[in-house]
Structure 1
Amino acid sequence: MKTSPEGRRVLEYFEGRENAAYPDPATGGDPWTIGVGHTGPEVFKGLVWMDDLIDEVLSSDLAKFEQQVGQLINGHPATQGQFDALTLFAFNVGADIDADKIAEGLGDSTLLRKFLAGDMAGAAAEFAKWDKAAGKSMKGLRRRRAAERELFNGATAATAIRVAQITE
């Protein structure tokens, strides 16, 4: 599956679209981010990208997370909204495809376990638990998780964003 235009709209709403690199809001420094949520060793203070490069890198980044989410759900049936929400979640916290059983992202999360077990209500409730950065609960992450939960439950991007805007 691929992320739908609805999913991309929610992703861009939360990540923003920045031509100049900016510091992580939780740390005030690393990791530096540019474009639509792109981080990596090539991103540093003072870096500037043109719009065409932002679009190219976003497509590449999304393709990586779409593939990883596909691997994690391993053929389990998913609606487009569920796939979008899981991909956006992994885009933000990581896919966590490794050998340990520590929930550092989607791969070892209770959210994924509940999804794979068919407990969609339980899986949807798990999004809210991922609201911390650098150990601190953050309003922006609470809002983002509310939007991802709404997408997971079948809402449109407009509804997901509206719900996020009223989430404290």
Structure 2
Amino acid sequence: MDLKTKLGAGVVSAAIALVAAWEGRSLIAYVDPVGIPTICDGYTQGVKLGDMASPQRCDALTEQEVRRALSVVDRSVSYPLPDEVRVALSSFVYNVGAGAYANSTLLRKLRARDIAGACQELDRWVYAGGRKLRGLERRRQAERQVCLSSLH
């Protein structure tokens, strides 16, 4: 395995750990705070109440979606981002979706090479279904800390 592949695997592992710390795992589908059927570590695509998943299936889905989120982040700017920023923003994109990220002030700041400003924007993303959620506030604080850690 070459160095670039090893480093990429480290970013994926770190992003999975960050996602898992905030999503919580359920092997049985449930309705999330905004009414979306969800399973595993926040996975929602095609989920119906009553669905079940094994821990191995959840691991695979989470890794797949983290890799997808990381790809969205990496393709969104024309310059290399610090790994800590990639980890934090992968967790963010995993949670809010690529569409919300694509239309965000956060991404506009990132494209303007204002990484610190982009990291600070995370604090604005604490609402779900029109309600401010304490869990999202804590998650965004953690993501912001990871994001800014590369700049100190």
TM-score by length of 1: 0.78
- Work out which of the residue numbers 115, 123, 128 in structure 2 matches 1:128: 123
Counterpart Cα distance in 2 of 1:20 and 1:133: 22
Query: Is 1:144 the counterpart of 2:139 in the alignment?
Result: yes
Quote the offset at 1:6 in angstroms: 2.6
Between the two proteins, the alignment pairs up a number of residues equal to: 142
Q: Work out which of the residue numbers 38, 48, 51 in structure 2 matches 1:44.
A: 48
Matches of 2:120 and 2:148, distance apart in 1: 10
Of 30, 46, 63, 1:22 maps to: 30
Q: Which runs of 5+ in 1 are unaligned?
A: 97-104, 156-168
CA displacement at 1:5 relative to structure 2: 2.6
Q: Which amino acid aligns with 2:122?
A: F
Higher helix share: 2
Partners in 1 of 2:115 and 2:26 — Cα distance?
A: 34
Structure 1, residues 34-53: CA drift from partner, whole Å, max 9, x if none?
A: 11111012x11111111111
Report the Cα distance in structure 1 between the residues aligned to 2:25 and 2:142, rounded to whole angstroms. Answer: 18
> Alignment partner for residue 73 of structure 2, among 69, 72, 81?
69
The alignment yields a C-alpha RMSD, in angstroms, of 1.6
Q: Does structure 2 conserve the Cα–Cα contact (< 8 Å) formed by 1:131 and 1:138?
A: yes
Following TM superposition, the consecutive aligned residue runs of length 4 or more in structure 1 with deviations greater than 6 angstroms are: none
The residue number in structure 2 matching 1:56 is 60
Match of 1:80 in 2: 83
Q: Does the CA contact (< 8 Å) of 2:38 and 2:44 recur in 1?
A: yes
Q: Deviations over 1:93-118 (max 9, x none)?
A: 1111xxxxxxxx11121111112212
TM-score by length of 2: 0.86
SS in 2 for 1:45: coil
Cα 1:64–1:7 change in 2 (3 A) is closer
8 Å CA contact 1:111, 1:127 repeated in 2 = yes
Tell me, what secondary structure is at the counterpart of 2:98? coil
